[in-house]
């Protein structure tokens, strides 16, 4: 196999681990050492040309070749069968609609979440249930970290240089979940977004970490607390809209379904009720106002609202479809809300996963 990466020959395991630190090639955690044999196994699994590039990774523009992505995927802990998911996630991230350049460099804390859908999620043991945003599952951790390491090493998005996040969040190490599709009465996210039922896909969406929502009871009670949690004045959506993610646990979804609420009904209700009077929003200050004006000038903030009247209630997204909904987590009391970057970017992009052999 024609691999062109620089080769390092080091005798001692400890010395090799430390070399990756000293070169700045790791995110702060130790890596799996990318031996040619491991890297070749990933590339052979997907059957793609090692020097095929998915494009330049912003902000610094290192080409995302299959070879370099495989090196970073090995470092993140991926096995060959994880690699098609990594490639689909990278393709989604590099779609201009996601504005990865902005996501990687903004002062906001958003990080691109990877959501895995389809039979591949169960086959590879991605977690979609208890502790879905947490630790304990190799597939979530390895795919999530592989992508982050690719952005680190190929894009050069490091916190002492181009990554200007004021706070960021722990998802910078790995931020990957799967949707629960079996214990779920509704169509999954990727089907909502146009993929065929039964297909495998990833969706990326740049967002804050999950905010807990104590959500249990009748549909009306659940919607009441969800809507309130979504329209906090601290999130960007309240000022400049954009997109937002809501996760419901399987009991939440089951209860909505049992009482005749479709996912679209829930989405529409949340869009209509997760609102604040513009007077409240304005009270946050002139800088917030300036950002809103910039979005208006760019045509991303709708003109249909009377912003002069302080009682006008404004939503958190431009349209209901900009509230993404995923069923995930254990059967319990909690849902979550993940605000986005606002109207500036980080928007959801979905890509089907190309399985080896075209399945």
Angle value at C-alpha 87, between 82 and 90, nearest 5 degrees: 125
Looking at the Cβ atoms of 187 and 298, the one nearer to another protein is 298
Q: Would you call 38 helix, strand, or coil by DSSP?
A: helix
Stretch that binds another protein, among 84-92, 119-127, 206-214, 341-349 (CB under 8 A): 341-349
Report the residue from 54, 75, 253, 325 that binds another protein according to the rule CB under 8 A.
75
> CB of residue 306 vs another protein: minimum separation in angstroms?
23
Token digits of residue 260: 């005749």
Where does this chain touch another protein (CB under 8 A) — which range of 61-69, 190-198, 221-229, 325-333? 61-69
Give the C-alpha distances (Å, rounded to integers) separating 96 from 91, 200, 227: 10, 22, 30
Site track for another protein across 20-39, x = CB under 8 A: ---x-x-------xxxx--x
Minimum distance between the CB of residue 347 and another protein, rounded to whole angstroms? 12
Range 143-202, binding another protein (CB under 8 A): 149, 153-154, 156
Q: Which one of residues 14, 167, 297, 303 is an interface residue with another protein (CB under 8 A)?
A: 297
- Closer by beta carbon to another protein, 106 or else 247: 106
- Starting from the edge strand earliest in sequence, which strands make up the sheet with 349-352, in order? 176-178, 111-117, 201-207, 349-352
The answer to whether the CB of 128 falls within 8 A of the CB of 115 is no
79-87, 123-131, 245-253, 294-302 -> range binding another protein (CB under 8 A) = 294-302
> Interface with another protein includes 225 (CB under 8 A)?
no
How many CB atoms neighbour CB 8 within 10 A? Answer: 11
Nearer to another protein, 68 or 351 (CB): 68
Closest CA to 64 of 46, 87, 95, 92: 87
H or E segment to which residue 191 belongs: helix 189-192
* Residue 61 makes contact with another protein by CB under 8 A: yes
Asked if residue 294 binds another protein (CB under 8 A), the reply is yes
- Residue 77 and residue 94: Cα distance in Å, rounded? 22
Stretch that binds another protein, among 67-75, 209-217, 221-229, 326-334 (CB under 8 A): 67-75
**290 counts as binding another protein under rule CB under 8 A:** yes
Least Cβ distance, residue 83 to another protein (angstroms): 15
Is residue 110 within 8 A of residue 341, CB to CB? The reply is: yes
Shortest Å distance, C-beta 268 to another protein: 29
Nearer to another protein, 79 or 300 (CB): 300
Q: How far apart are CA 50 and CA 32, in angstroms?
A: 20
**Given the DSSP bridges, would you call strands 323-327 and 211-214 parallel, antiparallel or unpaired?**
unpaired
- Could you say whether residue 71 binds another protein (CB under 8 A)? yes
From 165, 111, 153, select the one nearest 133 (Cα to Cα): 111
User: Which of 55, 63, 330, 356 is the binder for another protein (CB under 8 A)?
Assistant: 63
Longest dimension (CA), the chain: 71
Q: Which of 173, 291, 333, 334 binds another protein (CB under 8 A)?
A: 291
Kindly tell me which residue out of 42, 48, 99, 281 binds another protein, with binding defined by CB under 8 A. Answer: 99
Cα–Cα distances in angstroms (integers) from residue 247 to residues 190, 229, 241, in the given order: 14, 12, 18
Query: Does residue 243 interact with another protein by CB under 8 A?
Result: no
Residue with tokens 């995110």: 27
CA distances 226 to 163, 207, 267, 278, Å, are 31, 17, 11, 20
Q: How far is the CB of 74 from another protein (least distance, A)?
A: 8
- Please count the residues of this chain forming the interface with another protein, following the rule CB under 8 A: 43
175 token code pair: 């931020």
Strand partners, 349: 204
Question: CB–CB of 316/238 below 8 Å?
Answer: yes
Contacts with another protein by CB under 8 A lie at 3, 5-11, 13, 16, 23, 25, 33-36, 39, 58, 60-63, 67-68, 71-72, 75, 99, 101-102, 106, 149, 153-154, 156, 290-291, 294, 297-298, 341, 344-345
């Amino acid at each position: 196999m024609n691999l062109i990466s620089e080769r390092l020959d080091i005798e001692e395991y400890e010395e090799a681990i430390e070399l990756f630190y000293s070169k700045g090639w790791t995110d702060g955690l130790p890596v799996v050492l990318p031996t040619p044999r491991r890297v070749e196994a990933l590339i052979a699994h997907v059957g793609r040309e090692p020097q095929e590039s998915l494009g330049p990774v912003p902000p610094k523009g290192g080409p995302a070749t299959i070879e370099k992505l495989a090196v970073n995927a090995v470092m993140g802990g991926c096995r060959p069968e994880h690699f098609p998911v990594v490639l689909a996630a990278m393709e989604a991230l590099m779609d201009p609609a996601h504005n990865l350049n902005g996501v990687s460099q903004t002062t906001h804390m958003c990080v691109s979440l990877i959501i895995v859908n389809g039979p591949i999620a169960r086959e590879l043991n991605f977690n979609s249930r208890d502790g879905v945003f947490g630790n304990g599952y190799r597939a979530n951790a390895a795919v999530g970290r592989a992508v982050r390491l690719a952005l680190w090493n190929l894009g050069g998005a490091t916190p002492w240089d181009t990554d200007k996040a004021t706070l960021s969040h722990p998802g910078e190490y790995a931020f990957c979940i799967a949707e629960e599709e079996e214990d779920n009465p509704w169509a999954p996210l990727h089907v909502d977004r146009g993929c065929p039922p039964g297909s495998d896909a990833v969706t990326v969406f740049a967002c804050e970490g999950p905010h807990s929502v104590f959500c249990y009871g009748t549909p009306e009670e659940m919607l009441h607390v969800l809507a309130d949690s979504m329209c906090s004045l601290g999130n960007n959506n309240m000022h400049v809209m954009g997109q937002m993610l809501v996760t419901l646990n399987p009991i939440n979804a089951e209860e909505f379904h049992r009482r005749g609420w479709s996912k679209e009904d829930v989405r529409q209700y949340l869009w209509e009720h997760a609102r604040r009077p513009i007077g409240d929003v304005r009270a946050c200050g002139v800088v917030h106002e300036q950002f809103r004006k910039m979005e208006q000038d760019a045509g991303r903030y709708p003109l249909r609202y009377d912003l002069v009247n302080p009682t006008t209630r404004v939503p958190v997204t431009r349209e209901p479809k900009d509230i993404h909904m995923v069923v995930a987590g254990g059967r319990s009391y909690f849902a979550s809300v993940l605000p986005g970057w606002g109207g500036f970017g980080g928007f959801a992009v979905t890509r089907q996963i190309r399985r080896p052999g075209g399945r």
